[in-house]
């Protein structure tokens, strides 16, 4: 199965490089600039019109309208409904399977300013325990510690160590798709676990939507 991976389009999806053909198009969050319903509506209409058989979306820290704790249950439900109307599978701590491949969407991240889906370490640990052991493709907004998570201006790795620990426990995991850290767009394969790691951020650190989508075959 061919997966086409994108993330962090920040409302500039119409300006990004061409999207290759594939079976599943995965967007790992930050599809909007500021998480309003009109922005979600515009994005999902664009995404829904693409020819890929399946489209999966999770929320990112800019996608406020999906976060019921910040925008309320009604707006979060409306945002999900907009996705469904455009044949998009929205995952918030949920699984979906296509042709025997199990996907799980995880939008939460360590606390970062006053953004959507912030969670303290204890909450992250609890939520990560709910990731099924038979997950093949984990989609999170942020990266795990020390994997495509380096910010040169800060001179440090900023990924989540709790997420990294849970990934170590997922013996059947084949791929981890994420974004959030624009500076580390790219692909790598874990030396010990053989997992394919994809930082699919389309926008650069200057929020220019010039990074190319990344394809993986499973």
Residue of 149, 184, 136, 132 whose CA lies nearest to 24: 136
First to last CA, the chain: 5
pLDDT for position 113 = 87
- 117-120 contacts at long range (C-beta below 8 A, 24 or more positions apart): 117/59, 117/60, 117/61, 117/66, 117/67, 117/141, 118/61
Low-confidence ranges of the chain (pLDDT < 50): none
Query: For position 112, what pLDDT does the model report?
Result: 85
- What is the rounded distance in angstroms from the CA atom of residue 162 to the CA atom of residue 176? 14
pLDDT per position as a tens digit, 90-122: 999 999 999 999 999 999 999 988 999 999 999
Whether the model clears a pTM of 0.85, i.e. scores above it, the answer is yes
CA-based R_g, the chain, Å? 16
Among positive and negative, which fits the CA dihedral 82, 132, 122, 194?
Answer: negative
Q: Which residue, among 27, 23, 24, 2, has the nearest Cα to 13 in the 3D structure?
A: 27
In the DSSP assignment, the letter for residue 181 is -
Question: Where are the domains positioned within the chain?
Answer: 2-217
Chain centroid, CA 217 distance in Å:
18
d(CA 29, CA 106): 10
Q: Are 168 and 136 in contact (CB under 8 A)?
A: no
Cα–Cα distance for residue pair 36/6, rounded to 1 Å? 20
The fold of the 2-217 domain, in CATH, is Purple Acid Phosphatase; chain A, domain 2 (3.60.21)
pLDDT at 71: 93
67: left (phi over 0), alpha (psi -120 to 50) or beta: beta
* Structure-block tokens of residue 75: 């707006």
């Amino acid at each position: 199965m061919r997966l086409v991976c994108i993330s962090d389009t920040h409302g500039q999806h119409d300006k990004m490089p061409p999207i290759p053909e594939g079976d599943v198009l995965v967007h790992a969050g930050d599809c909007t600039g500021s998480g309003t319903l009109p922005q979600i509506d515009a994005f999902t209409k664009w995404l829904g019109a693409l020819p890929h058989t399946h489209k999966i979306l999770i929320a990112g820290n800019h996608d406020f309208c999906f976060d019921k704790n910040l925008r309320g249950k009604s707006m979060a439900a409306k945002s999900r409904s907009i996705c469904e109307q455009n044949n998009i599978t929205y995952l918030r701590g949920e699984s979906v399977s296509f042709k025997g491949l199990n996907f799980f969407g995880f939008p939460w991240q360590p606390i970062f300013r006053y953004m959507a889906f912030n969670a303290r370490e204890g909450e992250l640990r609890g939520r990560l325990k709910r990731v099924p052991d038979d997950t093949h493709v984990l989609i999170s907004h942020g990266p795990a510690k020390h994997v495509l998570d380096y910010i040169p201006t800060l001179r440090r790795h900023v990924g989540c160590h709790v997420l990294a620990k849970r990934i170590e426990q997922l013996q059947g995991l084949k791929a981890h798709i994420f974004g959030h850290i624009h500076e580390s767009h790219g692909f790598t394969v874990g030396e010990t676990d053989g997992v394919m790691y994809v930082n699919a951020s389309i926008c650069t650190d200057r929020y220019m939507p010039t990074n190319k989508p990344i394809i993986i075959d499973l």
